Structure 1
Amino acid sequence: MLQSLSSALQLMRYFTSTQPAWGVRELARESGTHHAVVQRVLATFAAEGYLVQDAAGRYTLGLRWFEMGEIVRHVVSPTQAVEPILQHLARESGETVFLTLIDGNEGLCLDIVHSDQQLRFSIEEGQRFALHAGSHGKAILAFLPPEQREGICANAARTDARVDLAVLDGQLAQIRNQGWAYTREESAAGVAGLAVPVWSRTRQVVGSIAISGPVQRLDEAAIPRLLAPLQLAQPKIEGVVGLLR
């Protein structure tokens, strides 16, 4: 019973912002699950309001997830406490600022304050991303327990031809040594990022705070100017988020 529930929930992970709709056979091929099983799972979720089927027979997420997400947002992400810190950091830096939490072996954008600049980095709340590329991911990956970190890196090398394990290991070692991550054009073309890890009260890394913007504005010369306010925001965010993990 629990295994069937786990398998059903794993299918829900395939519904993302970049792939919000799935047909039964399409999802079966992608997930490697028998189409009859996928059909039963999707039909069950649709009957309970968690999925909606369109005229073409494809399924998209239903409003039940939105309702539950609102509950999680209020319980897990105390917006009133976090957003003023992010807003202050965004005003001070002039760039987009966002808070990420680790979820499994991925990052999840929990809260964001966009820059007022016309040219800015685009990421949205609820967006997931790999941890091996970009300052926001590497600031988490570098401080994970060695076994988990090595597993994520090995998987990245298998799935992303651009990943060189030796180079990545060296970068992560440097991040651990200096306590912050800076990257250029790793997660998006023309974008640079600066990030610090977020720690729990038991000193486990649970996320990161990042400043991202165009490489023209966020170059290496800007690091000292941006790192200071980022590090000042770090313990304030940890005082809220770190208590949840």
Structure 2
Amino acid sequence: MSTRGGGESVLARAVRILEAFTQDEPALSVSEIARRSGLHVATASRLVAELVAHGLLVRDERRLVRVGVRLWELASRASPALTLRERAMPFLEGVHDVVGHHVQLAVREGEEVLFVERLSAPGSVVNYTRIAGRLPLHASSSGLVLLAHAPAELRERLLDGRPLRAYTRHTPAASPLLRAQLAAVRRDGYAHCPGFVHEDALGIAAPVRDRTGEVVAALGVVVPNDASARAVVPVVRTAARGVSRALGAEAVGKRVRAGTTRGGDGGATLPLAQ
């Protein structure tokens, strides 16, 4: 992609424009897009017009700009997350029928957990996650599962003593506490996180593995923070093993019981579409 005046490429500027939108603020004026992207208003206006012409952005009746359906269409055609979601959905629906609260599927993106699917119901316990939403790896049950099985270099970078965000007094924001939590996840095969993000909610998650035994996702639930939540653990673990088998990990249960998986150093790359 060419640059103008030897500076940043047009593609890089377009990406900055797309990144200006959030789930809480999906419609923005051109001036607000310019401010968030750090672009001159004239530059932002010109690029927005081009993106609208290609259907990647649209203007509503108030002349505010939104992400267009065309962008979703193009992204979905070859998305590895699509295969994962399709294989996982029957198991997510089964868990949802049992727990009656939130069931979600997540993958690791850098130092964050990205939620690619979520099922909920009216009256469910509070839950800050949403589809295409992110949280720090240390703060949720899905994040802890993915961090526990992430490359050692990433874990050590997060455990270097720098302060981590504490959503509640229960969030493992200190390095020693987080190390203990990750060790428990690898030992027990699941994460149990009472009140980590909200005092009233409890997260439980288990690893999903691909055909090589690598952890590629986490299947989790968010339920009320009470003593009955422990009964959900076998449901979550069984569903996660089911998704793993659907991804081709037929022998995953034998490897886990034998302690021969690569666990602690497994990556979190999504499985390729098949």
Q: C-alpha distance in 2, partners of 1:79/1:143?
A: 20
The structural deviation recorded for 1:31 is: 4.3
Contact 2:139 2:166 in 1 (8 A): no
Contact 1:24 1:38 in 2 (8 A): yes
Change (3 A) 1:119 1:236: closer
For each residue in 1:65-107, what CA deviation from the matched residue of structure 2 results, as whole angstroms up to 9, or x when unmatched?
Answer: 2323553579823655422211222223343211112234332
Residues 1:118 and 2:123 aligned together: yes
Alignment match, 2:245:
239
One-letter amino acid of the structure 2 residue matched with residue 61 of structure 1 = V
For each residue in 1:99-137, what CA deviation from the matched residue of structure 2 results, as whole angstroms up to 9, or x when unmatched?
Answer: 11223433232223324x633344443333332211122
SS in 1 for 2:192: strand
SS in 2 for 1:239: helix
One-letter amino acid of the structure 2 residue matched with residue 157 of structure 1 = P
One-letter amino acid of the structure 2 residue matched with residue 65 of structure 1 = L
Alignment match, 2:255:
none
Change (3 A) 1:9 1:212: same
Q: What residue ranges of structure 2 are gaps of 5+ in the alignment?
A: 3-7, 168-172, 250-270
The structural deviation recorded for 1:34 is: 5.1
Contact 1:206 1:242 in 2 (8 A): no
Contact 2:223 2:229 in 1 (8 A): no
Q: C-alpha distance in 1, partners of 2:201/2:38?
A: 35
Query: What is the TM-score when the length of structure 2 is the normalising length?
Result: 0.71
Q: Counting helix residues as a fraction of each chain, which structure ranks higher? A: 1
One-letter amino acid of the structure 2 residue matched with residue 147 of structure 1 = E
**CA RMSD of superposed structures (Å):** 3.3
The structural deviation recorded for 1:152 is: 5.0
Alignment match, 1:136:
142
Change (3 A) 1:194 1:75: closer
Higher Rg: 2
Q: Percent identity?
A: 28
One-letter amino acid of the structure 2 residue matched with residue 142 of structure 1 = A
Alignment match, 1:18:
24
Residues 1:92 and 2:102 aligned together: no
Contact 2:140 2:196 in 1 (8 A): yes
One-letter amino acid of the structure 1 residue matched with residue 72 of structure 2 = F
Alignment match, 1:222:
229
Change (3 A) 1:237 1:50: same
Alignment match, 1:65:
71
The structural deviation recorded for 1:54 is: 4.3
Residues 1:170 and 2:180 aligned together: yes
Among candidates 190, 193, 206, match of residue 183 of structure 1: 193
Query: What is the TM-score when the length of structure 1 is the normalising length?
Result: 0.78
One-letter amino acid of the structure 1 residue matched with residue 18 of structure 2 = M
